[in-house]
Amino acid sequence: MQIENFFQSANAETIATLVPQFYREDVQFRDPLVALQGREQLIEYYRRLYEGAHDVQFSFGEHLQEGDSHMLAWTMTASTGHLNQGKPFRVDGVSHIKYSKSLVYFHRDYFDLSAMFYERLPVIGGVMGWLKKRAGEVLSHQG
């Protein structure tokens, strides 16, 4: 199964069927939120993510491959009742995925956790936006 197809097809209802077609039993998965070992843990993690989100969509950018190792840029658009007042939000990220015998044994996602969560919370979001703006101003004056 191609990487893009997996994420385009994944949702709370399909994840238990899709994961065994895409990942090895002993898969290692890591993102800014969790570090997991094994397919069953990954199924449960994905299930919780998809149950809490609505209209999850991925668009894909650059895809670099060397042998069975892939680096893939993506943008996820989703909405959830807990973040951004239920309005859709976007998160940019990169996945590093390694295959063995056509199944994934290593998957690591890189994304800005603050952009996904903290910036969308009342009060904290305003503070995070101010801090990023201020840091950008300071850095631009140093260059």
* Residues spanned by the domain of 135: 113-143
- pTM for the whole thing? 0.77
Residues 76 and 127 in one domain: no
| CATH code at position 37 | 3.10.450.50
| 18 plus 54 within the same structural domain | yes
If asked whether residues 23 and 92 sit together in one domain, one would say yes
User: Is residue 131 located within the same domain as residue 83?
Assistant: no
Q: Are residues 107 and 90 in the same domain?
A: yes
Report the number of distinct structural domains present in the chain: 2
Q: Which of 54, 43, 37, 4 is nearest to 20 (CA)?
A: 43
| 133 and 96 housed in the same domain | no
Same-domain pairing of 60 and 118: no
127 and 81 both lie in a single domain: no
Give the angle subtended at the CA of 11 by the CAs of 19 and 81, to the nearest 5°.
135
d(CA 39, CA 24): 7
Output the tens digit of pLDDT for each of the chain's 143 residues.
Answer: 589 999 999 999 999 999 999 999 999 999 998 999 999 999 999 999 888 888 889 999 999 999 999 999 999 988 776 665 667 888 899 999 999 989 999 999 999 876 655 554 555 555 555 555 665 555 665 65
Block residue for tokens 């894909």? 60
pLDDT of residue 78: 84
- Placement of tokens 């950008």 in the chain: 136
Question: Looking at residue 80, what is its pLDDT?
Answer: 74
Kindly state the tokens that stand for 56.
């999850």
